[in-house]
Structure 1
Amino acid sequence: MSDDQLVGEREGFAPWLLEPMRRNKDIYIKVTLAAVLINIFALTSSLFTMVVYDRVLPNNATSSLVALSIGFALIVIFDFILKMLRSYFVDVAGARIDREVGESVFDRLLNIRLDRKRGSTGALAGIVREQETLRDFFTSATLSAVVDVPFILLTMVVIAIIGGWLVLVPIVLVPLVILVGIVTQPAMERLATRAMSHALHKQSVLVETIGGLETVKTAGASPILTGRWLRSIEDNSDISLRQRLIANIGITASQSAQMVSFAAVVVVGVEMIANRTLTMGGLIACSILAGRAVAPLGTIAQLLSRITATRTAYRQLNHLMQGRPEGPDGDPLRLAKVAGKIEFRNVHFRYPGTPEKALENINFTINPGEHVALIGRVGSGKTTIAKLLLGLYEPEEGVILLDGTDIRQLDPVDLRRKIASVMQDTLLLSGSVRENIALGREEIDDPAMLEASELAGTHQFIGQIANGYDRRLADRGEGLSGGQRQSIVIARALAAKPPVLVFDEPSSGMDTQTENGLIERLDAELKERTFIVITHRTPFLRLTSRVILMDRGKVLMDGPRDAVLDKINPARVAKS
């Protein structure tokens, strides 16, 4: 995406929100038509009162009163139906927009480039959660109130027809109320931005605490997190108090304007009645209409804080949506068949925000079906190589090729189907064991899942349980040992029979017997597949024929397994 395109998107309304609104324009047209009729019907109460006072009472016209009452009752019924329909249409449109926007936001979240990711996990989750603020705007009374505002002019026209110069009262008061709202908006905007920042920090503390609750308890981290949580609450409370105070200025101003409007119309109307330029019924009708002319502004003032919060949420989400997703700018390539040849050519890489390079001038080629081990000190760049190969980050310089094609041209999702991985963090999703292995992939049926489970050793402990593969796992697989979680993740990687496998410390949580059993089963399974293992455990080296020794982001040695192991000092190959 070019810079010009980005500027164009920033200047206009974001397409990820505008397009769903356009697709629901028919519903919003219905809402507008309903609003027109509702506001016209709202005039009938004042007109009804005027006719009763000016025509019915002086002439004791009971039959006319009955006819007027029947007509008024019919209008009330239609008004009720229209208001219900308007509310229904707004809710339907809001639900549709919420689904479409939610799908777009979640898709962008899944495709976010890790080198462009900013803030903590909790802060990012908080930004995505701001979609609810947009949904509340489109499904609440806010939209109805905005639609009602233009009809203030219609109300003033009716006042002018009935009461003549009495219309000057709302003409003076309405701009004053609007002016109060305009004056308070900059402060509301600043406070909404600060409130968002504090809310994201509070969300970050909460997610960090819940996600690592076990570690928080064992490490004794409760005091520091409690302090952060209380500071977040205090900051949020302070900002919320200021927001409510400023919002109350507009609300109170509109309420006072309604009282002044009613009283001023009565005072001026008395003089007009004395001069016989206005009837008693006209005065009552104008006083009712004057209050109605100011009333929508009261609703708007009450909802200004919500509108401000909506704009702030929109900006946060728009910043996320405008970020360049991972993958190529054009149509991505999808390789029909992968032999498994991997090449790193002059690859340099540094993590965002760090001055030191994590990888420097990395060059090696792994041929199809070759089994290679990456070993080295902690922080030597082994895991970084795996992340670059999986397309999680892009190299700063150089190129990474899969079967002769730069992986930056490939569809990232398709790439990770061809290169299955087991990373150090064994993340399991909430759901059943079956769901954690298959991950919704249609090509993985029960026989494929069972075969992968037997290879990974999962079947040894899951197959003995009555509801084994349907057992529901808690968040991150709590209740399972580290080795059991690793076993399920390995089964997940093996299930689709990918041509390339990347294992990063796959047996760090397993005992020696379980590890040896896994290695024996993998020995036959990995034939004719490209296999890369990052490990500090000697048994896993039996599966490899080549070793690459890393240190400080560089390749120190690369050659046949036994030759490299004979040359290096064992103490130098530290645990990673």
Structure 2
Amino acid sequence: MMAQQQSHRGRALGTIAAGGAVQPFHLLRWAFAQKGADIGQPFEAALFALASALFTMTVYDRVVPNNAIASLIALSIGLAIIILFDFVLKLLRAYFIDHAGAQIDREMGEEVFERLLAMRLELKKGSTGALTGLMRELETLRDFFASATIAAIVDVPFLFVTLTVVALIGGPVVLVPALMVPLVVLIGWLTHPALERLSARSMGEGLLKQSVLVEAIGSLETLKASGAGPLLAGRWSQAVGQHSDSLLRQRLIASIGVTFAGSAAMLAYAGVVVVGVTRIAENALTMGGLIACSILAGRAIAPLGQIAQLLSRLTATRTAYWQIRELMELPPEGPAEEALSLARSSGKIEARNLSFRYPGATEKALDGISFTIQPGEHVALLGRVGSGKSTIARLILGLYPPEDGLIMVDGTDVRQFDPASLRGNFGAVMQDGALLTGSVRENVSLGREAIDDDEMLRVCGISGTHQFLGQIANGYDLKLADRGEGLSGGQRQSIAIARALAGSPQIVVFDEPTSAMDAHTETGLIQRLQDELKGRTLVLITHRPPLLELVDRIILLDKGKIIADGPRDAVLKQITRPKAA
């Protein structure tokens, strides 16, 4: 059973992610496939609603004229039993709808988050805040399917059952509620295009507002220090104003259908009474039949009110679906076919006629460069700001695919490897050195089972982390704030270095690993790294001369091209020669 459920989930989510002929209502069908039999129970519960009308008709037409108290007691007991079952089934309906919504939320949320993590960076669109807001749209999908409004779809067949019963009891009286049905549907259909446009506009403005908010919270210290608060406050005010205006218009138009449905229910009730009185005058309808028809007419229109509300929510859900679908249709990292696994790299890195241009950039970051780094070789990439050093590191790690040429590890193009398998052979410290929310222990181990406490203490000793955490009672269980706020830049870099060294990866990539450290701390780190990195490949990017003690070779870049490549001392002499002249 579990395997069948997983298989069904995979097929459904695969359909949503595949693109092509996918339609928004695939989500709807999938939701009912998850709990279709359970949600179908409202139809049985709706049949019990007929009981109250038939009970009233019987009392007026049979009990009251004959003073049949015994029959009244029997009817009352029967009605009480029906009401009890109706109550239980309505509770079950609410439970199963909420359960189906939670299941959709969990499974879809996991799938979308996995696709977000696998996103190719060159295809990333929008700011961090916009992507965060896009993930929030999963709540729109969840709320749509988990709301009681979804039961209105199941209640629609009951509408025709109710009209049939009204026709059997009152004959032509049924024309009154029957005429209201197409009017309510027509109003909903006429307002739908405007709701579509406003929903798309509202979502775009909501994502813009989310982007400003995330940027402000993530850079609060910088905003205060630089005095940029008024700038973002103005952006926030403008975004809130535009979003509020769109939401107001959207709600006003949505209320037209809902309000008209309520008015139609009142008109149906009054119309049934008027027509019913003429039928009574013709002796074609009893008083009890008129009361029953008026009750049933109101119940027949009630699902239409829910349908009108459902249509207004459907526009927002469709918009959220298309936005999420764009993310799901982005090709993930790695090869389209079966990926290769890199169990243990020898450490050889090779670039052949490598070129790369960042998305939207006019100039190439790398222009036809070639080099080979042998296993165990320690190489520094030097050059001015913007010369392409960090770009090479990103390409080696497979974060971006080359525009032209090849970047290979152990003689194989990195694009053929499974990204997780490839990066499992690397220990990388990037420029930002961002830490995760959680303990220091979690930031070093990253959930890897092979990183036990002994290994954590070993690499923290090498990186210098143990020097400031070893003497604190809860040192390695110290909870870090977002991106490691509360620690100094040097402390964050120290933890990032420990994380990169954990597990003794064969290839180590350091991009400005000590830029925030003081000279004394840096000197101690260099001494410890000389022993730690023996026999392993090192790619070092730095502007700090002391770190060059770790390398034997330097590749000098300028404007995306290699202008010098050779032994460390020879290249350093070439760099300093113009200064001596």
TM-score (structure 1 length as normaliser): 0.96
1:151 aligns with 2:158: yes
Do residues 251 (structure 1) and 254 (structure 2) align? no
Cα distance per residue 1:117-169 (max 9 Å; x no partner): 00000001111111111111121112112221222111111111111111111
Out of 475, 488, 493, the residue aligned to residue 486 of structure 1 is 493
CA distance in 1, matches of 2:578, 2:132: 43
Displacement of 1:569 = 3.7
2:393 to 382, 386, 390: 386
Pairing 1:180–2:187 present:
yes
Q: CA separation in 2, counterparts of 1:492 and 1:331?
A: 29
Quote how far apart the aligned CAs of 1:370 are: 0.2
SS at match of 2:385: coil
Q: Residues 235-314 of structure 1 correspond to what in structure 2 (within 5 A)?
A: 235-314=242-321
- Match for residue 461 of structure 1? 468
1:104 aligns with 111
Alignment pair present for 1:31 and 2:39: yes
Matching residue within 10, 14, 17 for 2:20: 10
Residue equivalent to 1:91: 98
Tell me the secondary structure at the aligned position of residue 43 of structure 1.
Answer: helix
1:165 aligns with 2:172: yes
CA shift for structure 1 position 21: 3.8
Deviation of 1:304 (Å): 2.7
Question: Does the CA contact (< 8 Å) of 1:17 and 1:101 recur in 2?
Answer: no
Check conservation: 2:258, 2:305, Cα contact below 8 A: yes
- SS of 1:466's partner is coil
Residue deviations 1:286-338, cap 9 Å, x none? 11111111111112222333221111111111110111001110111112221
- Secondary structure of the 1:345 match is strand
State the number of aligned residues.
Answer: 565
**2:487 counterpart SS class:** coil
Give the equivalent residue in structure 2 for 1:505: 512
Q: Relative to 1, partners in 2 of residues 1:272 and 1:6: Cα closer, same or farther, differing over 3 Å? A: closer
Indicate the SS of the match to 1:282.
helix
Q: Per the alignment, in what secondary structure is the counterpart of residue 190 of structure 2?
A: helix
Residue aligned with 2:422, SS: helix
Structure 1 segment 352-431 matched on structure 2, within 5 A: 352-431=359-438
In the aligned structure 1, how far is the partner of 2:25 from the partner of 2:279?
Answer: 55
The whole-number CA distance in structure 1 between the counterparts of 2:484 and 2:17 is 44
Pair 1:110–1:16, CA change in 2 (3 A): farther
* Partners of 1:152 and 1:14 in 2: CA distance: 26
Counterparts of 1:16 and 1:468 in 2: how far apart (Å)? 50
Confirm or deny: 8 A CA contact 1:20 1:100 kept in the other structure: no
Deviates more, 1:94-103 or 1:495-504: 94-103
- The residue number in structure 2 matching 1:558 is 565
Question: Which one-letter code corresponds to 2:122 in the other structure?
Answer: D
Letter in 2 for 1:257: A
Whether the 8 Å CA contact 1:388–1:394 is kept in 2: the answer is yes
Matching residue's letter, 2:300: A
| 1:229 matched residue in structure 2 | 236
* CA distance in 1: counterparts of 2:175 and 2:51, whole angstroms: 22
Distance change >3 Å, CA 188–CA 94, structure 1 → 2: same
For residues 570 and 220 of structure 1, the distance between their equivalents in structure 2, rounded to whole angstroms, comes to 43
Deviation, structure 1 residue 8: 6.9
Determine helix, strand or coil for the equivalent of 1:11: coil
What does the per-residue CA deviation read over 1:63-97, in whole Å, with 9 as the maximum and x for residues that have no partner?
11100000000000000000001111111121112
**Residue among 176, 201, 211 paired with 1:194:** 201
Q: Secondary structure at the match of 2:367?
A: strand
User: In 2, Cα distance between the equivalents of 1:231 and 1:445?
Assistant: 51
2:145 maps to 138
Question: Which residue, 110, 114, 126 being the options, matches 2:133?
Answer: 126
Q: Which whole-Å deviations, capped at 9, do the CAs of 1:474-528 have from their partners, x for residues lacking one?
A: 1111111000000000000001110000000000000000000000000011011
Deviations 1:14-57 (A, max 9, x none): 799589647x53x321220x112111001111111111111111
Taking a change above 3 Å as real, the CA distance of residues 400 and 20 of structure 1, as seen in their structure-2 partners, is farther
Give 1:317's aligned residue: 324
SS at match of 2:20: helix
**Separation in 2 of the partners of 1:369 and 1:436?**
27
Cα deviation 1:532-573 (Å, max 9, x = unaligned): 00001000000000001111111111111100110124789x
How far residue 360 of structure 1 moved from its aligned partner, in angstroms, is 0.3
Distance 1:553 1:314 in 2: 41
5+ long unaligned stretches in structure 1 = none
> For residues 35 and 42 of structure 1, do their structure 2 counterparts lie closer, same or farther at Cα, with a shift above 3 Å needed?
same
Give the distance between the partners of 2:25 and 2:276, measured in 1 at CA. Answer: 52
Distance 1:436 1:193, change over 3 A: same
In the alignment, what sits opposite 1:440?
447
Q: Distance in 2 between matches of 1:490 and 1:181?
A: 60
Q: Match for residue 219 of structure 2?
A: 212
TM-score by length of 2: 0.95
257-266 or 302-311: bigger deviation: 302-311
Q: Secondary structure at the match of 2:255?
A: helix
The equivalent of 2:8 in structure 1 is none
Q: Give the Cα–Cα distance (whole angstroms) in 2 for the partners of residues 16 and 492 of structure 1.
A: 43
User: Amino acid of the residue matched to residue 12 of structure 1?
Assistant: V
Note the C-alpha offset of 1:6. Answer: 10
Question: Which ranges in structure 2 are unaligned for 5 or more consecutive residues?
Answer: 1-14
**SS state of the match for residue 49, structure 1?**
helix
Residues in 1 aligned to 2:380 and 2:431: alpha-carbon distance in whole angstroms: 15
Question: SS of the residue aligned with 1:351?
Answer: coil
Cα 1:79/1:317, change in 2 over 3 Å = same
- The 3 A distance-change label for structure 1 pair 16 and 102 is farther
What percent of counterpart residues are identical? 61
Structure 1 residues 76 and 16, CA gap change in structure 2 (3 angstroms): closer
Q: Distance in 2 between matches of 1:554 and 1:91?
A: 59
The answer as to whether partners of 1:28 and 1:93 remain within 8 angstroms in 2 is no
Does structure 1 conserve the Cα–Cα contact (< 8 Å) formed by 2:366 and 2:388?
yes
Call closer, same or farther: CA 1:161–1:13 in 2, change over 3 Å.
Answer: same
Q: Following the alignment from structure 1 to structure 2, what is the Cα–Cα distance between the partners of residues 91 and 149?
A: 20
SS in 1 for 2:424: helix
Q: 1:439 to 1:571 in 2, by over 3 A?
A: farther
Deviation per CA, 1:360-391, whole angstroms, max 9, x where unpaired? Answer: 00100000000000010000000000011111
Alignment partners' CA distance in 2, 1:517 and 1:414: 32
Which has the higher mean CA deviation after the structures are superposed, 123-132 or 142-151? 142-151
Aligned-residue CA RMSD (Å): 1.7
State the AA in 1 paired with 2:360. G
Q: Report the CA distance shift for 1:19/1:275 in structure 2 as closer, same or farther (over 3 A).
A: closer
Return the match for 1:541 from 548, 556, 562.
Answer: 548
Identify the residue that residue 348 of structure 2 maps to in structure 1: 341
1:59 to 61, 66, 73: 66
Deviation larger for 361-370 or 133-142: 133-142
> Which string of whole-angstrom CA distances, capped at 9 and with x for unpartnered residues, describes residues 416-473 of structure 1?
1101100000101111100010010111000000001001000000101111000111
The answer to whether the 8 Å contact 2:463/2:495 transfers is yes
